[in-house]
Structure 1
């Protein structure tokens, strides 16, 4: 499925349907921005859900694996 992944405060979380997912470690530039080579505030790509994982891939070659957060009803962080 095609998505626009929010990257403005780094890459950490995504919601697919009613499930919230998070990475093991926030991907950022150390200042709360996306790492070099990522779009800001979004990165276009695809996400594939398999079991408890959601994998984001884009045309630039980025791949990020997110893990489901069972029973989560909101994001862990809200980007300002």
Structure 2
């Protein structure tokens, strides 16, 4: 095939693709996009060295306000090494809640593949 043949074929294809009639509007509500409500799932928050970050499935999140007792332990009133509760992920935010009233908000670290800190 010559360069002219390739150029002619490309031009014809571009014209044909651009000439389709507009799609007919639809009144079918099932075809409309839907939003999914965020759901809470049971979650054991690792607290042993303080509360800094979490991993939910394959996504890493960092605490908006890290929590510790100043000596690398969880703050008073938190279980050690884990605090049972629930996690709710909505968009780039994850919120941990427990039955004692604790709440911690985390934000996603896009592209992260590991934790920022390790705990011994």
TM-score calculated relative to the size of structure 2: 0.65
Q: Measure how far apart 1:38 and its partner are.
A: 0.1
Unaligned 5+ segments in structure 2 are 1-40
User: Corresponding residue for 1:72?
Assistant: 112
Deviation at 1:77, TM superposition (A): 0.4
Which has more helix, going by share of residues? 2
Which runs of structure 2 are paired with 1:1-80 in the superposition (5 Å)?
Answer: 1-80=41-120
The CA deviation at 1:26 is 1.8
Q: Which residues of structure 1 form unaligned runs of 5+?
A: none
Q: Count how many residue pairs are aligned between Structure 1 and Structure 2.
A: 80
Structure possessing the higher relative contact order (Cα contacts under 8 Å, 6 or more residues apart): 1
1:36 Cα deviation after fit:
0.4
TM-score, length-scaled by structure 1? 0.97
- 2:105 aligns to what SS in structure 1? strand
CA deviation vs aligned residue, 1:28-52 (integer Å, no higher than 9, x gap): 0000000000000000000000110
Deviation string for 1:1-33 (max 9, x for gaps)? 101100000001100011000013320000000
CA RMSD of aligned residues (A): 0.6
